[in-house]
Structure 1
Amino acid sequence: MQVAALQIPATPPRRPRSVRVSAEMECADSSTAEEPEPMSPTGRILEEMGVCIIVVMGLGTPVNLPVFRAGIETELVTRFPRFRSVQVMDGSKDGKPGWVQTKVNMDDHIVVPVLDPVAVVSDPEKTVEDYVASLSTLPMDRCRPLWEFHFLHFPTSEATSTAVLRLHHSIGDAMSIMTLFMASSYSTADPARLPAMPPPPKRTGAIYQRQPRPALSSFGDYLAWVWSYFVLVWHTLVDIMLLAATVLFLSDTRTLFTRADNGESHRRRFFRFVHRSISLDDVKLIKTIMNCTLNDVLVGVTSAALSQYYFRKSGRTNTKRIYLRSFVPVNIRPISSRQTYVTKVETGNQLSSLICPFDVALYSDPLEYVRKANRSMHRKKSSLEVMFTQVVGELLVKYFGVKIGAFIFHRLGTRTTIALSNVIGPAKHITLCGHPIAFMATSIYGQPQALTMHYLNYGSTITIIMAVDDAQFPDCHQILDDFAESIRLIKDAAALSKLTTTTE
């Protein structure tokens, strides 16, 4: 166990500098003769870009370190092969990385920092926030499996203690990590039961799934069916051209959300992670009244909140709409696979991406933000952009190398404004490694954008998590205040709209 005897507000212990693993697999378990398991193309791109995942978990009880440690070892490490694997080079000409299992020394993966007691007492929330932010500046030791737990033994307003999981994104994506948590936990309300799953969505595949040919009872039905394919082809061609233009020359309008150095600097940036929980019932109410999806509501609220922040911060009186774009990772697994998490936890990254427009504007009707988001997302569902991006990404890595693939995705990130991601968590509160989880907040660092938004459904709440470049957004908590205000305005407007419709 690593204990940091540091008497500063929130700085974790120093870690060994990254060491590139040799072809001889010097860091792997020498007793195993297995061949390296290839890393997925997406994993290789994320490995090249140095993207890491941060999961902050507020615990409902004080940390019982022996119990939590035993739970990590018997549940997480056992179920998830990447937690007991190291990256190695397979010795081929292009040096493709792979995974080889090794023995896990738990002491290498558990960190208990000793922080300044004055800072802890005076502002525990700020101490946790500063500590988590400082992790974004520290490299990970590649001679070990690329994950670690940090435990903070003091209460905050949201939890009795805090556990922070940091892992390299090449290990897996947010869905695989959330699935691992659900497979390894129990219901807090009934410890004898597995956690409740969220209800399955209407779709069972990726964001676009071809519909079967309907029963054609008239010429009009046949014409509508054929027309849907023309629309699909047209939208796909337009999206492909926009992707190509973005890589070559097309960039969003520069605003205060644009990365300050325009993505040219490769310095390690200091990311700050802040979060705010909103009621899932409020979002569902808006969804039902406006006949849209939860994602539509969340994107609409994001547009409203960032618009409020932008016009207040910039002091601009010209409220003309500013068209910006978001980079949206998309899970390409069949949604139904979430229901099989008890028997199988999928590893790796199965992601593609979309580029979606969003507005920065001031509308007199708050519902207009959700309507705009609904139209934008509906348009993306009649396109094969997700499939195209996945196939092209794999081909780029296969035939041109991971550096070209990472360069392309870095260009897409620097020429769009923000990144948006939504993760579905357990429908009820869970107990993980013997500790009830009061809240969860997951995010990433190492991405090219200065502002990244994550949404995590957990129990009866949706947690809005922001990862921001600390130098560019020193007032990031104001954006969270704008989120709270925006959801209130949109909810009130939706309720009034429903009341007016009912009265009429």
Structure 2
Amino acid sequence: MNGKFQDISYMKNGEPVWIPVTIRVEDHITIPDLDYTNIENPDQFLEDYSSTISNIPMDMSKPLWEFHLLNIKTSKAESVLLAKIHHSIGDGMSLMSLLLACSRKISDPDALISTISFTKKTVDSMASAWWLIAGFWFMIRVTFTTIVEFSKLMLTLCFLRDTKNPLLGNPDDGIQSWKVIHRIISFDDVKLVKNAMNMKVNDVLLGMTQAGLSRYLSAQYHGCTMSQKKKILGKIRVRGAVAINLRPAANIEDLADMMTKGSKCRWGNFIGAIIFPLWIKSENDPLEYIRRAKTTMDRKKISLEAFIFYGIIKFTLKFFGGKAVEAFGKRIFGHTSLAFSNVRGPDEEISLYGHPITYVAGSALVGSQALNIHFISYVNKIIINLAVDTTTIPDPHQLCDDIVESLKTIKSAAQKRGSHKMEV
């Protein structure tokens, strides 16, 4: 077991210190005594239960993890396992690796799941002859882009805040009440758009998020004409803090390797963040949202913004302590409207101690944003997870509907574009 799962935190000289303790498993597992026969809407019950435990502070007197077993049949599963784990234990990639290490293939109950492989493009000899020139030009681009993006990060830290909009909470008030919901969509739909537009999955997810937010925000300005709404959306600044995995390998690593001393793939929190300007417009062409997402993300990938963000956190923690890191995070996250992340899950169905898993949902309730959007893939599904502050966003289901509907619109446009190319 990873050390943090056996440790508790206590304050020493104003700073948290981790010490190992003896684990009492029964203290970390909750099986609520409920009259399941009288639950009329199991999906709503699950949503309410998840939101309730999200708003309860963790018990700091024991290791910071807990499991809730609900023997209730929902529209998506025969029963539900809820895990509540403190962010200090590990990031999304670490926790996904832990899940896979505890799982087995449904097709072969005795076999561990295979790690996800990525194909690498080969470079022909003619192209490799120009590697010096290309490398020099690339370094110039990296340097220039990093300076620009670092400057934007510092401006955000100091004073640059998103325009007041229906998604932006008040960081001074803190999160009042979390509401956690999820929706399952087809991974094949996302792949269709990805292949049609020659993009990454993350580009499509960011693009459909931009389209969904644009649709949602447009509907918030009641009484305005369409032209007035376009002007309003054209003037507001909405940005998201996008989590970036900094591990050298992008695939899901085997847990044992990840926890091995000296492994290049670290267990724990090894993520940076970039400040992503969202394209919030009323576009006639829905594909423009994913084009804009790809253009912005390509520029961000060239920069070292995510590594600088991580470095600032580590430097601040080492020399100024946890309170300074908390103040840094409050400034950055309080000046942006939302948090966004995407974690890739297994490509094949898995079981947990003999119980087949139908989907994996999860949210990271960190930062002071009123909106957290997280995508998790599982086989042929993508699970959209929203965690919202209901005092700022009272209708999260409508927001989720807008994101789902935007994917349908983008998919339809991509199919029409593909059929038009075939006709030509």
Give the Å deviation of 1:215: 4.1
Task: Indicate the residue corresponding to 1:358 in structure 2.
Answer: 278
Q: Distance in 2 between matches of 1:443 and 1:202?
A: 31
The one-letter code of the counterpart of 1:107 is E
Give the Å deviation of 1:396: 1.2
Task: Indicate the residue corresponding to 2:218 in structure 1.
Answer: 311
Choose the corresponding residue for 1:170, options 88, 91, 105.
88
Change (3 A) 1:116 1:477: farther
The one-letter code of the counterpart of 1:113 is P
User: Does 1:189 find its partner at 2:83?
Assistant: no
The one-letter code of the counterpart of 1:329 is A
Change (3 A) 1:457 1:202: farther
Q: Distance in 1 between matches of 2:202 and 2:77?
A: 28
Select between 428-437 and 371-380 the one with higher mean Cα deviation: 428-437
Q: Distance in 2 between matches of 1:336 and 1:87?
A: 31
Task: Indicate the residue corresponding to 2:159 in structure 1.
Answer: 249
Q: Distance in 2 between matches of 1:269 and 1:189?
A: 44
Give the Å deviation of 1:342: 5.0
Task: Indicate the residue corresponding to 1:233 in structure 2.
Answer: 143
Choose the corresponding residue for 2:43, options 104, 107, 125.
125
Q: Distance in 2 between matches of 1:411 and 1:158?
A: 39
Task: Indicate the residue corresponding to 1:375 in structure 2.
Answer: 295
Q: Distance in 1 between matches of 2:195 and 2:158?
A: 41
The SS at the match of 1:170 is coil
Change (3 A) 1:391 1:428: same
Deviation per CA, 1:168-207, whole angstroms, max 9, x where unpaired? 111111111110010111012321221243333659xxxx
User: Does 1:404 find its partner at 2:324?
Assistant: yes
TM-score (norm 1): 0.76
The SS at the match of 2:273 is strand
Select between 463-472 and 431-440 the one with higher mean Cα deviation: 431-440
Change (3 A) 1:446 1:377: closer
User: Does 1:264 find its partner at 2:172?
Assistant: yes
Deviation per CA, 1:107-165, whole angstroms, max 9, x where unpaired? 101112234657x5221111111111111221222221111111112111111111110
TM-score (norm 2): 0.90
Select between 468-477 and 404-413 the one with higher mean Cα deviation: 468-477
The one-letter code of the counterpart of 1:435 is H
Task: Indicate the residue corresponding to 1:348 in structure 2.
Answer: 268
Task: Indicate the residue corresponding to 1:101 in structure 2.
Answer: 20
Choose the corresponding residue for 2:8, options 76, 79, 86.
86
The one-letter code of the counterpart of 2:3 is P
User: Does 1:417 find its partner at 2:337?
Assistant: yes
Unaligned runs of 5+ residues in structure 2 are 122-126, 260-265
Q: Distance in 2 between matches of 1:285 and 1:97?
A: 47
Native 8 Å contact 1:200 1:335 kept in 2: no
Task: Indicate the residue corresponding to 2:52 in structure 1.
Answer: 134
Native 8 Å contact 2:30 2:67 kept in 1: yes
CA RMSD of aligned residues (A): 2.0
The one-letter code of the counterpart of 1:122 is E
Q: Distance in 1 between matches of 2:382 and 2:128?
A: 40
Give the Å deviation of 1:226: 2.8
Change (3 A) 1:291 1:110: same
Native 8 Å contact 1:450 1:468 kept in 2: yes
Task: Indicate the residue corresponding to 2:240 in structure 1.
Answer: 326
Identity of aligned residues (%): 36
The SS at the match of 2:252 is helix
Task: Indicate the residue corresponding to 1:472 in structure 2.
Answer: 392
Native 8 Å contact 1:352 1:390 kept in 2: yes
The SS at the match of 1:226 is helix
Task: Indicate the residue corresponding to 1:50 in structure 2.
Answer: none
Native 8 Å contact 2:104 2:112 kept in 1: yes
Native 8 Å contact 1:124 1:156 kept in 2: yes
Task: Indicate the residue corresponding to 1:275 in structure 2.
Answer: 182
Native 8 Å contact 1:134 1:270 kept in 2: no
Task: Indicate the residue corresponding to 1:437 in structure 2.
Answer: 357
Give the Å deviation of 1:95: 4.4
Give the Å deviation of 1:253: 1.0
Give the Å deviation of 1:233: 1.3
Q: Distance in 1 between matches of 2:128 and 2:258?
A: 38
Native 8 Å contact 1:296 1:373 kept in 2: yes
Q: Distance in 2 between matches of 1:215 and 1:168?
A: 46
The SS at the match of 1:171 is coil
Q: Distance in 2 between matches of 1:383 and 1:190?
A: 43
Change (3 A) 1:224 1:178: closer
Task: Indicate the residue corresponding to 2:262 in structure 1.
Answer: none
Select between 164-173 and 131-140 the one with higher mean Cα deviation: 131-140
Change (3 A) 1:337 1:478: closer
Task: Indicate the residue corresponding to 2:346 in structure 1.
Answer: 426
Q: Distance in 1 between matches of 2:340 and 2:160?
A: 20
Native 8 Å contact 2:47 2:180 kept in 1: yes
The one-letter code of the counterpart of 2:255 is Y
Within 5 Å, give how 1:287-306 maps onto structure 2. 287-306=194-213
Q: Distance in 1 between matches of 2:257 and 2:322?
A: 33
Give the Å deviation of 1:337: 6.6
Q: Distance in 1 between matches of 2:119 and 2:100?
A: 18
Q: Distance in 1 between matches of 2:117 and 2:189?
A: 17
Task: Indicate the residue corresponding to 2:67 in structure 1.
Answer: 149
Unaligned runs of 5+ residues in structure 1 are 1-78, 204-213
Q: Distance in 2 between matches of 1:202 and 1:269?
A: 46
Change (3 A) 1:135 1:202: farther
Within 5 Å, give how 1:44-55 maps onto structure 2. none
